[in-house]
């Protein structure tokens, strides 16, 4: 029972996020993901992270990466994904792209549709909106997809 409670708490907010910050936590998540033997190569690049950002923004970025990769693994039939995470004041810009089957126009325009893909996309959109950010999905059938989120930086004072 205690182990399952710890697992749920860790799923809600991974300890690595609090202890190490966003970039190392994402690297740790990607390492764990690669050890599952999936046929997906994930490239990750981060730039501009000299200071910690607000914990709420870190969590939203982390969850968008998790959900984005989950969607790619489950639905895209992609062999490669790229994650770009950049601080470009006053925003954190997160882009996740893949070389998969893409999402049809009707699926993108109806982001609140019922279904695994619709719930994932609408959940990401809601998370980003909850912190005052912008979210978009671009895709072409058979050409992959790009998820882009812009969130306010809200730098945390490193001396605190």
pLDDT tens, residue by residue, 60-76 = 999 999 999 999 999 89
Lowest mean pLDDT among 16-20, 71-75, 136-140, 154-158: 154-158
d(CA 78, CA 39): 8
pLDDT at 160: 43
pLDDT at 5: 38
* Tokens encoding 121: 């996309």
pLDDT in tens, 92-107: 999 999 999 988 766 6
Are the CB atoms for 123 and 16 separated by under 8 Å?
no
* Tokens encoding 130: 């909850």
Burial of 150 (0-12, 13-18, 19+ CB in 10 A): middle
d(CA 59, CA 44): 17
């Amino acid at each position: 029972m205690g182990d399952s409670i710890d697992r749920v708490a860790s799923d809600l907010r991974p300890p690595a996020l609090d202890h190490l910050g966003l970039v190392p936590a994402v690297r740790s998540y990607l390492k764990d993901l690669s050890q599952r033997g999936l046929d997906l190569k994930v490239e990750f690049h981060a730039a501009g992270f000299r200071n910690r950002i607000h914990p709420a923004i870190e969590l939203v970025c982390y969850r968008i990466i998790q959900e984005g990769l989950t969607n790619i693994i489950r639905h895209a039939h992609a062999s490669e994904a790229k994650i770009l995470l950049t601080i470009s004041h006053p925003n954190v810009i997160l882009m996740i792209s893949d070389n998969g089957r893409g999402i049809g126009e009707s699926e993108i325009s109806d982001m609140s549709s019922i279904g695994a893909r619709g719930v994932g996309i609408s959940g990401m959109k809601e998370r980003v909106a909850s912190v005052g950010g912008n979210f978009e999905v671009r895709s072409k059938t058979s050409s992959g997809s790009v998820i882009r989120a812009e969130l306010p930086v809200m730098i945390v004072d490193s001396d605190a």
